[in-house]
Amino acid sequence: MGKVHPADIAELKPKKKCCRKSTRCVRCPVVVHRMRKLDGAQMTKKQLTKALKRARAA
């Protein structure tokens, strides 16, 4: 899949089932839902990157 811009993760189609590993994948339904809850329009790129890191932490 390659690198994805953190602001684009909210628009990704999540996978059907979560793998539930220690670091969740980018297309995990939990990660996509957590990123959708954030208001990415008012966040800087650095803040979005940190938010993605927190969303992927299990």
pTM of the predicted protein model: 0.81
Which residue in 44, 40, 45, 13 sits closest to 29, CA to CA?
13
Give the 3-state secondary structure of 2-58: CCCCHHHHHHCCCCCCCCCCCECCCCCHHHHHHHHHCCHHHCCHHHHHHHHHHHHEC
| Distance, CA of 30 to CA of 32 (rounded, Å) | 6
Percent of the residues in the chain that have a pLDDT greater than 90, as a whole number = 28
Q: Quickly state the pLDDT bin for 4 (edges 50, 70, 90).
A: confident
